[in-house]
Chains A and B, each alone.
Chain A
Amino acid sequence: MKVTVDRDKCCGAGQCVLLAPDVFDQGEDDGIVLLLDAEPPESLHAAVREAAAVCPAGAIDVSEDA
């Protein structure tokens, strides 16, 4: 799994941090998403997919091929 985030789209809702805190964080100065792990372990795949699904700004992209 390969994760990418679009910091221009992000609206700082923080749902990704709640669902997968080992993969996503928010910048201390702007609240915008920070990607901590672009290739998370399989145990986190479900949470990351869910984070992408509930991201209100569509700022998280998950590619399953990688």
Chain B
Amino acid sequence: MTDTVRETAGETEIPQFPGVRAAKCPFDPPPELRALQQNGTLAKVRLWNGSTPWFVTRHAAQKEVLSSPKVSADVTKPGYPIHTRAFGGGGLSFILKDDPEHARLRRMVQAAFTVRRVETMRPAIQRIVDDLIDQMLAGPKPVDLVEAFALPVPSLVICELLGVPYADHDFFQHNSKTIIKRTVTPEDRAVAFGRLHEYLDGLVAQKLDDPADDLLSKVAARVEDGELTREEAAQMGVLLLIAGHETTANMIALGTLALLQHPGQLALLRETDDPKLVASAVEELLRYLNITHSGRRRVAVEDIEIGGQVIRAGEGIIIPNDIGNRDPEVFPDPDRLDVRRDAHRHVAFGFGVHQCLGQSLARVELQVVYGTLYRRIPTLKAAVPIEEIPFKHDGQVYGVYELPVTW
């Protein structure tokens, strides 16, 4: 190969992001992107629009970038590596804004998600999980675990917390699913967003008239005090409702499938009554599955040096947590699912001030689910071969669309 050819080849070798997972390894990040980690801390990837943002491969550097004041999460800033042609604009409250605006909004709802507050919800979450398992056991089999269990658990919990009627779950689950599809058209995404926004705005109006003991009523009270506009309140409601059920639902179904594929690990969970082991399994599954597989995204607002390389102001940066969570420097033998390992340093919830607001709630929900489901249905198994299970390759968030199970 001549030098010219090699150079040309080098240019075309910039891999596409998001990438394609290997058919036989549905739980592992795309091999082509994973390979970039061996070459260095920084690489380049190519997006849907032809742009080539930086790609931060190592766990330590990811934390460094995500906690740096020299980067912005503002999707409207030039150079921001936009997810899809349907993405952009705002509408998701504080997650696509910078401080101080981000902190102002986030702090209005933060108290509802503290470790201690969420811990008081554990008995109610346990009841929800037990009731749904009772219904599954009393119903026909096989059954789709996503529909019968994985989606209802977090939907019931977030509805209760926010004060959203669970009877509307088909409506909000369907529109949320549309919004986070990578393949959605800008028109369809706007329609789904509009519907959810209108729905939440109506609920905020209701809570203004007739406040209840729920988070949406607290948000509505801020509107009354003049601290929030109606628009901001509805946006916050949309964010909390989507983020509150989609991600956890995916962790429940995909986590169960991963455990069914690793029977030894599943047996450890099924046979333990040690809450520490269950908590450890939650952290490990968060690390190993890292369902937010579209990368955290930022744009540099000042020059920033990472791994000996200067990223210039205005350049886009992708921080793929799924790859960071497979960094062998932090997690030895990173491709092995090991519920007994200490995985708490994972970056599945992101890092920096945008780190997941609902992480404590997600932890408790997953601890109750993983600590209950396999003990109560010890013979739980997939009802179809793994090749027939539809994975969310086209989702901003990874998971499975269906998981037929029997016992």
Q: Which A positions have Cβ atoms within 8 angstroms of B?
A: 9, 11-15, 17-19, 21, 25-32, 53-54, 56-58
Contacts and interface: CB of A to CB of B under 8 A. Distances in A.
Given A12-B107, A12-B113, A25-B116, A54 B345 contact: yes
13 contacts: A12-B357, A13-B357, A14-B114, A17-B116, A26-B115, A28-B111, A30-B107, A30-B110, A30-B111, A32-B107, A53-B345, A56-B353, A57-B67
Contact of B355 (A13, A26, A31, A32): A13
Contacts of B103: 11
Contact of B344 (A17, A28, A29, A54): A54
A54 B352 CA distance: 10
A14 B360 contact: yes
Interface of B: 66-67, 103, 106-107, 110-117, 344-345, 349-357, 359-360, 363
Nearest to A54: B345
Contacts, number: 71
A11 B356 CA distance: 10
Contacts of A21: 115
Contacts of A12: 106-107, 110-111, 113-114, 357
Nearest to B108: A30
Given A13-B349, A28-B114, 8 more contacts: A11-B110, A11-B357, A17-B116, A28-B111, A28-B117, A30-B107, A31-B111, A56-B66
Contacts of A14: 113-115, 359-360
A17 B359 CA distance: 13
A21 B114 CA distance: 12
Contacts of A11: 103, 106, 110, 353-355, 357
A26 B116 contact: yes
Contacts of A32: 107, 110
A57 B116 contact: no
Closest A-B pairs by Cβ, 5 of them: A31-B110, A56-B355, A12-B110, A26-B114, A17-B115
B353 A57 contact: yes
Given A54-B345, A56-B351, A29 B106 contact: no
B116 to A, nearest CB: 7
Nearest to A19: B344
A54 B351 CA distance: 9
Nearest to A58: B67
A57 B345 contact: no
Q: Which of A27, A29, A56 counts the most chain B CB atoms within 10 A?
A: A56
A53 B363 CA distance: 20
Contacts of B107: 12, 30-32
A31 B112 CA distance: 8
Given A11-B103, A14-B359, A31 B113 contact: yes
Contacts of A9: 353
A54 to B, nearest CB: 6
Contacts of B354: 11
Contacts of B67: 56-58
Contacts of A19: 344
A27 to B, nearest CB: 7
Most chain-B Cβ atoms within 10 A of its Cβ — which of A12, A25, A27?
Answer: A12
A11 B105 CA distance: 11
A46 B115 CA distance: 20
Contacts of B363: 18
B28 to A, nearest CB: 25
A27 B360 CA distance: 15
Contacts of B350: 56
Nearest to B107: A30
B366 to A, nearest CB: 14
